[in-house]
Structure 1
Amino acid sequence: MPIEIKPQTPANLDKQQENAWKKNISFFNSKKISFKDRIFLFQQIQLLLQTGTPLYAGLSALRKQIEKPAVKELLTDLVSTIDEGKSFSFALSKYPNIFTSTQINLISASEEGGFMAEVLQQILDMEERREKLRNTLISAVSYPCFLAFFSLAVVVFILTVVFPKFAALFAKIHDTLPITTKSLMWLSESLTNHWMMILGAVAGILLLISRWFASEVGKIVVDKFKLSFPVIKTVFTQVYLVQSLRVMSLSLGNGVSVMDTLADCKNTVQNKLYQNFLHDVELKVQEGSGMSSGFAQAEFVPPLVKQMITTGEETGNLPIVMEKIANHYEAELLKYLQTLSKLAEPIMLLLMGGLVGIIVSSLILPIFSLSRAVH
């Protein structure tokens, strides 16, 4: 999804710097940079650094070959900021809607250690895995949703086009019609004669539902549902674990502080309950109990994960352990989603066939009954 650029002012700029900074980047407000643009930038910068090209010279050369205006303007500002003596991570931090706090903190740590090319490759690998998981989730639900909408379209077509042609015939034998046929006749008449009212009511209901989902109460209810409802719970628990543990592994392994790492994780996982869990882990770390104590209190974290986190903390191999856990649950999640997708297809086809069958039988059976009565 394209990301709208809304730069924020760094806290440590004085008033004169702030005004100049705002002037330099005011033209970004109407521009957009996509996920692919961001990945392309990281790929090109990583390649330049691997070949020994200085960062400033590499960004300047990259700016000349870019054609997309938004990306070119972004590179122009990055080059200008570095030319002022600021760090690359500082330049990126001016655009929190493009570059995540995880990416910025990792690049900041790599600048101090002199291993930015390696960190950029790790960031690219993480983004590639995340995109693959996202695409798998979308594909797992897209086909069942398509079948559901197709079934609804077929039902509406039968009720609004086919049923009205038999309305006069069924009116003569209304008392002898099955209850299903009577119900469908009433529904057909309502859809045909009052479709504008029904459409308005549906639109109003959808608007209210969307506003409720956007409210704080709605978000909390949905987040609880994701971590408590069977089947759904398995998917989202593993998604959140994979996302957060991979960020933790990468950040801690490259020297980012524990508190900054946990803050990055809260920005990565979009679930209030999981963010509260990460906040509890932060409190445990501040108390000196360690991350394993925070994980041990979470009900939705599998016991195996709790034990491995404890072991990793005791042995000093926490980043490696977290990476192994993330890889394991990512593989399990991909298999689980593939299984759900395969199961959903026949179930949806069966439901669709049953629904259409009921409607067609409600239409045909009265005609057969009338035919026998005539003979």
Structure 2
Amino acid sequence: MALQFEPEVIKAPTGDKKAGGLNLTLPTGHKRAGAAERMFFTEQLALLLETGESLYGALTTIVKQTENAEMCEAVTLIAQNVSEGRSFANALAEHKAIFPPTYVNLVAASEAGGFMHEVLEQLLKMDEKREQMRTTLVSAATYPLFLIAFSLAVVVFVLVVVFPKFGDMFLSIQDQLPMSTKVLMSTSDVMRQYWIVLLAGLGIFIVAVRHWLRSEAGSARIDYMKLHTPGIRDVFTQIYLVQSLQVLSLSLNNGVSVMESLAACRDVVQNSLFRRLIAKVEESVQAGAGVAAGLADSKFLPDLAKHMIATGEQTGNLGKVAGRICDYYEVQLAKKLDALSKLAEPIMLLVMGVVVGVLVSSLILPIFKLSRAVS
């Protein structure tokens, strides 16, 4: 059924009063629109469409409820394009920073099939799963990073503040000082005398590392390490597998072609090796060999996943099977991250204890020697 649009037109925000009788005040601020804003938009749009609201009416309602300035402007322009007769997917495609190709392709398929609000609900679930995965990854890394930062802060404080106060005292027994104390005293002197040079060097090092990581060679090297380093390769493999299978399942189950679905998978995965694998699968499909044939030679993809994909392709249920594989590896990934987090905690505490122990012993042992000399 064709959508009926109102004659009003919402123009790009240029002030408080907008054309078409709609009063709109653009929210202030410079926060970029991200996953949270897209999820809010998707949830509101699905709900309004399900209640029978027209697409244009739903968009104008969302504009009034959106607090993020960039998102508000984007939805306003989308509503304007829709009111002028353009397709919703075409209007979304002009805002690639907010709506990725997967989102646009699925909306286009749903427009043709007349089941847009169902697809929007599925897109919302996919975004929610991605955010949940991101939160899990951040939570798993937060505590170890905190312990590392705290240990470094303790070391710097002891070397810069505590050790200098004992310097004159230790000079009288310099020949009897433990090697660890001598090394730490020398390090303390260097840090206090050349702190400007050290800070400048640290800043240059950080800038150089960031530049290398953003370069093609650096990015490729990091991508390789993620998929080949023991201990973390399984985690990153499952992360990329879940990301790609989410898109593949959702796309295929909503009528998107295999080639377009694979292209969407390639866009969503942030690893050059994994993207290369998906590109190889695309070539295999174009040649008529199928998805499973393109995955057969992959060294980092789990055999279980390859076998299930081959079975799904043979039975004509690739979309459904991809969803089942995705659900399975989501659970496995959560378990693995939890196990790694629990393993990292005692290791970091042990390292922190050793560092503090060396610092304390380097101070206490010379003091004992001084007390013996005095007695």
Q: What is the rounded CA distance, in whole Å, between the counterparts of 2:68 and 2:188 in structure 1?
A: 52
Does 2:98 correspond to 1:105? no
Deviations 1:17-36 (A, max 9, x none): xxxxxx958999x7732322
Alignment of 1:101-250 (within 5 A): 101-250=101-250
Q: Which moved more, 1:93-102 or 1:203-212?
A: 203-212
Q: CA contact under 8 A between 2:78 and 2:88: conserved in structure 1?
A: yes
CA displacement, residues 212-237 of structure 1 (integer Å, 9 cap, x when unaligned): 11110000000000000011101100
Structure 2 counterpart of 1:275, which letter? R
2:159/2:187 contact within 8 Å kept: yes
Instruction: Calculate the aligned-residue CA RMSD, in Å.
Output: 1.8
Farther off after superposition, 115-124 or 58-67: 58-67
Q: For 1:99 and 1:71, how far apart are their aligned partners in 2?
A: 11
Q: Which residue of 2 aligns with 1:81?
A: 81
The alpha-carbon deviation at position 341 of structure 1 amounts to 1.0
The equivalences for 1:237-276 within 5 A come to 237-276=237-276
Separation in structure 2 between the aligned mates of residue 31 and residue 362 of structure 1, nearest angstrom: 49
Tell me the CA shift for residue 263 of structure 1.
1.1
Alpha-carbon distance, 1:62 to partner: 2.8
Q: Residues 65 and 241 (structure 1 numbering): CA distance in 2 closer, same or farther, change over 3 Å?
A: closer
Count of residues paired in the alignment: 353
**What's the counterpart of residue 12 of structure 1?**
none
Q: CA deviation at 1:71?
A: 3.1
Equivalent position of 2:314 in the other structure:
314
**What whole-Å deviation, never above 9, does each CA across 1:167-216 have from its counterpart, x for those lacking one?**
11212221221111110000011111111111111111111111111110
2:304 match: secondary structure: helix
Find the aligned partners of 1:320 and 1:193 in 2 and give their Cα distance. 65
- Runs of 4+ aligned residues of structure 1 deviating over 4 Å after TM superposition are 23-28
Q: What are the ranges of 5 or more consecutive residues in structure 1 without an aligned counterpart?
A: 1-22
Segment of structure 1 superposing worse, 191-200 or 118-127:
191-200
**What TM-score, normalized by structure 1, do the two folds share?**
0.91
Q: Name the CA distance, whole Å, in 1 between partners of 2:281 and 2:347.
A: 41
Q: Give the Cα separation in 2 of the matches to 1:69 and 1:270.
A: 27
* Local SS of the residue matching 2:310: helix
Q: Measure, in 2, the Cα distance between the counterparts of 1:197 and 1:312.
A: 61
Alignment of 1:282-321 (within 5 A): 282-321=282-321
Q: What is the match of residue 16 of structure 1?
A: none
Output the CA distance in 2 between the equivalents of 1:240 and 1:68. 30
Query: How far, CA to CA, are the matches of 1:206 and 1:246 in structure 2?
Result: 35
- Asked whether the equivalents of residues 223 and 271 of structure 2 are also in contact (C-alpha less than 8 Å), the reply is yes
Q: Which residue of 1 aligns with 2:367?
A: 367
Shift of 1:65: 4.1
1:352 counterpart residue number: 352
Q: CA deviation at 1:68?
A: 4.3
SS at match of 1:32: coil
**Aligned equivalents of 1:322, 1:65: Cα separation in 2:** 36
Letter in 1 for 2:202: V
Distance in 2, Cα, partners of 1:102 & 1:69: 24
- Indicate conservation of the 8 Å contact 2:12/2:73, yes or no: no
Aligned to 2:21: none
- What percentage of aligned pairs have identical amino acids? 50
CA distance in 2, matches of 1:177, 1:60: 76
Which consecutive residues of structure 2, in runs of 5 or more, have no partner in the other structure? 1-10, 16-25
- Equivalents in 2 of 1:211, 1:79: separation in Å? 40
Kept after mapping to 1: 8 A contact 2:147/2:349 = yes
Counterpart CA distance in 1 for 2:128 and 2:99 is 15
1:55 matched residue in structure 2:
55
Most deviating of 72-81 and 262-271: 72-81
In structure 1, the residue corresponding to 2:341 is in which secondary structure?
helix
1:239/1:67 CA distance change after superposition, 3 Å:
closer
In the alignment, what sits opposite 1:17? none
Match of 1:38?
Answer: 38
Deviation at 1:60, TM superposition (A): 2.3
Q: Which residue of 2 aligns with 1:14?
A: none
Read off the aligned partner of 1:311 and give its amino acid letter: T
| Preserved CA contact (<8 Å) 2:167 2:185 | yes
1:303-342 to structure 2, matched below 5 A, reads 303-342=303-342
Residue 8 of structure 2 corresponds to which residue in structure 1?
none
Using the alignment, how far apart are the partners of 2:201 and 2:182 within structure 1? 23
Q: Secondary structure at the match of 2:255?
A: coil
Distance 2:13 2:105 in 1: 22
CA distance in 2, matches of 1:75, 1:102: 18
